[in-house]
Amino acid sequence: MAIYHLEAKMVSRGAGRSAVAAAAYLSCSRLLNEYDGVQHDYTRKQGLVWQQVFLPVAAPTEWQNREILWNAVEENEKTKDSRLAREFVVALPIELSKAQWERLLSDFVSDTFVSDGMCADVAIHDPYPPGHNPHAHILLTVRPLNEKGKWQYKTEKEYLCVKNGKEQGFTAAEFKQAQADGWEKQYQYKVGKKKVYMVPSSAQAQGYERVSKYPKSTKYGRQNPISERWNSEEQLVFWRKAWADVTNLHLERAGQEERIDQRSHVERGLDEQPTIHEGVTARALEKKGIVSDRCELNRQIKADNALLRELKAAVKKLMQVVKVAVPALAEAMEFLRANMIVFRYQIRYAGLGKHKLSERLNVLKPTLERYTLLVQQIKNKAKERKTLLAEKKATPFYQFVVHNDLEKKIAKLTEDLEELKSEKVMVLSSLGCDEDTGIAEVRKSVAAMERNLERLTQQEEKYVAELDTALIQFTELKEQEKEVDYIALFEQRAVLRPDTIQAVTSKLKMAYGEKFAPIILADSKRDVAELLGEETEVRSIHEDLQKKHEQEVECKNTPKKNGQER
């Protein structure tokens, strides 16, 4: 199954890494780092499938040699904590072949990085056992190139200059024009016991002594706008999405239904059921007014997910009640009860979908098996008949007995073939096919129904878990009955119930539209009532109310004593 994995990290001297070492590792080769004289040898490493260096137009052609490329990077970076390269490790979909992996990576790297001015060193690793963990390493330069193939700066000194009391930053190149416009650099001057930044014209007029030759500047300088963009969080998000998009495009081209998604668990809300790929055929059927199993399943999944999001948000708020109060407790309990009805409805609805799919599969699969058997029988008998016809043709005419025997066998086989072909036509008709070429679509449809059946099973299991969670939450609220007047709570819940049931009905109608089934809702209400033991609870409360009423009547009818005996 295709999975999304894109790990981004920096190769920096500050972390004890080397760009040459990283390149040697990904290419399983031996490379010498001229910066520190260390030779990195990974020639014994196994699992290298493919490797290639990609260069932008401006880059020197000799950089096709990765040793020259990464030594050029190492040479240009002077500090002990320099960032040398950016590295991505991406998981490759096992649904694609090695040749398709190469095309996928070539498209991704060329369109995403090289077109933006980066040099890229790429390799595919498929370590033992093959197909277990295929992945790719992408090593990228982090310093932009100019049009002449020379490295640009990452950051540039930015001087904070002053004009008419206003402060603004300028690079060395920009300051030439700024100085002509009246901007001045600021330097430290000694004012009493303090050191103060001032412009020379003002300081000299007041006779202050300059204590530093370095002008005031921003702490980190001004980043190259290209480097700034490459280092931004927004760019990383863009690259992550680009990998998902290009991978999904290649999966689609390869006829695979699997897809990957770059979003995080929180962004995706993985407690929801993912929709399935519908495909061109399914959507074309829908346009003609024919209900597609795939589209129908997606509609159900989307409706369920929308309800789940809404219900969970509301439950979270209600469960945060900190003070035990009858109205708040009654509202929370009735809302949870209503949610349980929704979950039970979804379980029943998914079960109904599973039942329909199972019924269709129980008809189609044996029929397909019968068709396959008929085709094989027809093939065998046709082959046998052909052999007998050849034998008859080779038999001399005067051998009447042999001829007659062969003719009888051939006639019997001909009759059998006609019967088998007639049955095959009937089987094809029952499958909705006019000829054998339609069987491929039937097989695809059966495979799709089996996948949909599996997804419905997963969906059913998910809502069973949601129902269990809601029951636990309801039980926790039920414990609070001990701290309140439970009869008052029961009466308050009875007042709220019609509105909550009406709200549930409205939500389900909105979510399912014409597919809404009142009978499933009625069955779901009954299921939840049984699950919560409401019949026993009502009977117990009625008995308590009856006893309370009898006690009140008895107390009322008992004559009061005046405190004296006669």
pLDDT digits (tens, 9 = 90+) for 273-296: 555 544 545 555 556 555 566 666
Classify 6-150+229-259 by CATH class: alpha beta
Element (H, E) at 195: strand 194-198
How many Cβ atoms are within 10 Å of 67's Cβ, its own excluded? 18
Please answer whether residues 332 and 319 qualify as being in contact, where contact means their C-beta atoms are separated by less than 8 angstroms. Answer: yes
Return all residues near 96 (Cβ < 8 A) that are at least 6 apart: 104, 250, 251, 254, 256
**Distance (Å, whole) CA 395 – CA 402:** 8
The predicted pLDDT at position 540 comes to 78
Contact 231, 8 (CB under 8 A): no
Q: What is the pLDDT of residue 311?
A: 62
Tokens of 99: 């040749």
- How many degrees, rounded to 5, is the angle at CA 139 between CA 134 and CA 143? 160
Burial group, residue 508, by CB count within 10 angstroms (0-12, 13-18, 19+): buried
Largest CA distance in the chain: 145
Between CA 348 and CA 346 the distance in angstroms is 5
Q: Please give the backbone phi and psi of residue 521, each rounded to the nearest 5 degrees, phi first.
A: -65, -45
With left for phi above 0 and alpha for psi between -120 and 50, is residue 296 left, alpha or beta?
alpha
- Reported as type and span, the H/E element at residue 556 is helix 534-557
Which SS3 state, helix, strand or coil, does residue 71 take?
helix
Q: What is the pLDDT of residue 566?
A: 38
Answer yes or no: are the C-beta atoms of 168 and 114 closer than 8 Å. Answer: no
Residue with tokens 């007029």: 205
Cis peptide bond upstream of 396, omega within 30: no
- Look-up of token digits 């039937």: 442
| Whether this model's pTM surpasses 0.75 | no
> What are the two backbone dihedrals, phi and then psi, of residue 153, each rounded to the nearest 5 degrees?
-75, 155
CA gap 497, 330 in Å, rounded: 10
**Positive or negative: CA dihedral 112, 113, 114, 120:** negative
Distant-in-sequence contacts of 57-61, Cβ < 8 A, 24+ apart = 58/117, 58/145, 58/146, 58/147, 58/148, 58/149, 59/119, 59/145, 59/149, 60/149
Whole-angstrom distance, CA of residue 334 vs CA of residue 314:
12
pLDDT at 269: 53
Nearest to 144 by CA among 105, 88, 86: 86
User: Rounded CA gap, 461 and 458, in Å?
Assistant: 5
pLDDT at position 62? 95
Instruction: Provide the token pair at 538.
Output: 């009502």
> Which regions in the chain score pLDDT beneath 50?
265-266, 277-278, 280, 320-323, 563-566
Decide: helix, strand or coil at residue 6: strand
Q: According to the model, what pLDDT value does residue 547 have?
A: 72
Angle at 217 between CA 213 and CA 222, to 5 degrees: 135
Contact 63, 119 (CB under 8 A): yes
Task: Name the residue type at position 306.
Answer: A
Task: Tokens 């007639």: give the residue.
Answer: 422
Report residue 126 as tokens: 């498929």
